[in-house]
């Protein structure tokens, strides 16, 4: 791989940081065991933020003695994201890298989730807006739920801290209300990039996903509801990060348009319940 001087510098810096962590992220006792948690991180031009997020993830999961894997699904990045992801994979066998053609965040998440091996599958954003230490909140819900959603809208006094601009908050609430009316009722925050699935639910839902853009969150929740999977929101800490690729107004309008298309694509999907990997009720006449 031919890399620029800047690329070489980034790669050497990352190798140095990995070497410094050393035993703190040791994989010796976990790589051969059955995976408990798969963490899927979609990434598009995230050279500035991905390494920090992955290193923090490795360190925290190792400290918690989780048997885990991190799947970086690169969405056709044009910067050094893929090269840095491959360095992480070379240095830690629990990291896997998927080089995807550029199709959108939804496409990258779908590819990563369908390749996951864990009992539970989490997807999270590369920017680290949600601290990795929020994972236990979702894991606790996995004892009784099929899908756990980190939520910036559901709150308990003194429990969480959500930091974002006022206009993002207002537009987000308006969008959420429209989504509740048109597609997925009873979910206050469909767009937070911190969602966990039981393996059976993940495979059933993402195997049917068709949307590759930002509206994919709405689609997967709509599919999950129509397949009768249980969904629960939990309040999480969240801090808006600089360098966001989401245009609040433009992308919200685009997603609202996509919601109509999503409803049409899944118009014949009816109730089905998965338990222990078994289909208990037909979803489509053709299934």
Q: Is the pLDDT of residue 60 over 70?
A: yes
Q: Is the pLDDT of residue 153 over 70?
A: yes
Residue 156: inside a domain, yes or no?
A: yes
For residues 279 and 161, state if they share a domain.
Answer: yes
Q: Which of 82, 74, 128, 96 is nearest to 27 (CA)?
A: 96
For residues 249 and 172, state if they share a domain.
Answer: yes
The DSSP bridge partners found for residue 96 are 71
For residues 105 and 162, state if they share a domain.
Answer: no
For residues 77 and 109, state if they share a domain.
Answer: yes
Q: Is the pLDDT of residue 264 over 50?
A: yes
Question: CA angle at residue 84 from 115 to 96, to 5 degrees?
Answer: 20
Residue 252: inside a domain, yes or no?
A: yes
Residue 223: inside a domain, yes or no?
A: yes
Query: What is the structure's pLDDT at 4?
Result: 55
For residues 162 and 272, state if they share a domain.
Answer: yes
pLDDT in tens, 91-132: 999 999 999 999 999 999 999 999 999 999 999 999 998 999
For residues 85 and 183, state if they share a domain.
Answer: no
Is pTM, for the whole model, over 0.85?
no
Residue 147: inside a domain, yes or no?
A: no
User: Strand 120-124 and strand 194-198: pairing?
Assistant: antiparallel
Residue 140: inside a domain, yes or no?
A: no
- How many Å is the Cα radius of gyration of the chain? 19
The DSSP bridge partners found for residue 163 are 239
Q: What's the CATH code of the domain at 62?
A: 3.90.550.10
Residue 134: inside a domain, yes or no?
A: no
For residues 283 and 157, state if they share a domain.
Answer: yes
Q: Is the pLDDT of residue 17 over 90?
A: no
The structural domain count of the chain equals 2
For residues 10 and 76, state if they share a domain.
Answer: yes
Residue 137: inside a domain, yes or no?
A: no
189/149 Cα distance (integer angstroms): 8
Q: Is the pLDDT of residue 277 over 50?
A: no
Residue 57: inside a domain, yes or no?
A: yes
Query: What is the structure's pLDDT at 20?
Result: 81
Q: State how far the alpha carbon of 46 is from the alpha carbons of 78, 164, 243, 247, in Å.
A: 10, 20, 9, 17
Range of the domain at 10: 1-128
For residues 167 and 209, state if they share a domain.
Answer: yes
20 Cβ contact partners less than 8 Å away, ≥ 6 residues apart: none
């Amino acid at each position: 791989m031919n890399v620029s001087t800047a690329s070489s510098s980034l790669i050497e810096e990352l190798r140095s940081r990995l070497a410094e962590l050393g035993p703190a992220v040791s994989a010796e006792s976990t790589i051969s065991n059955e995976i408990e948690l798969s963490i899927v991180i979609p990434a598009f031009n995230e050279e500035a933020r991905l390494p920090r997020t992955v290193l923090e993830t490795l360190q925290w999961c190792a400290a918690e003695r989780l048997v885990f894997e991190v799947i970086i699904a690169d969405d056709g990045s044009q910067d050094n994201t893929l090269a840095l992801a491959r360095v992480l994979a070379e240095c830690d066998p629990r990291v896997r890298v998927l080089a995807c053609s550029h199709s959108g965040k939804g496409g990258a998440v779908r590819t990563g989730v369908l390749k996951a091996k864990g009992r539970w599958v989490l997807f999270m954003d590369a920017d680290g807006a949600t601290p990795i230490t929020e994972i236990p909140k979702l894991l606790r819900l996995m004892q009784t739920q099929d899908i756990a959603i980190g939520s910036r809208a559901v709150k308990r006094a003194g429990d969480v801290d959500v930091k974002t601009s006022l206009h993002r908050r207002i537009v987000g609430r308006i969008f959420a209300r429209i989504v509740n009316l048109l597609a997925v009722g009873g979910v206050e925050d469909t767009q937070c990039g911190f969602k966990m699935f039981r393996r059976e639910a993940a495979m059933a839902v993402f195997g049917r996903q068709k949307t590759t853009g930002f509206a994919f969150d709405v689609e997967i929740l709509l599919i999950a509801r129509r397949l009768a999977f249980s969904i629960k929101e939990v309040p999480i800490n969240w801090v808006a990060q600089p360098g966001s690729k989401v245009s609040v107004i433009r992308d919200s309008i685009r997603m609202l348009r996509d919601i109509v298309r999503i409803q049409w694509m899944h118009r014949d999907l009816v109730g089905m319940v998965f338990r222990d990997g078994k289909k208990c009720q037909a979803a489509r006449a053709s299934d």
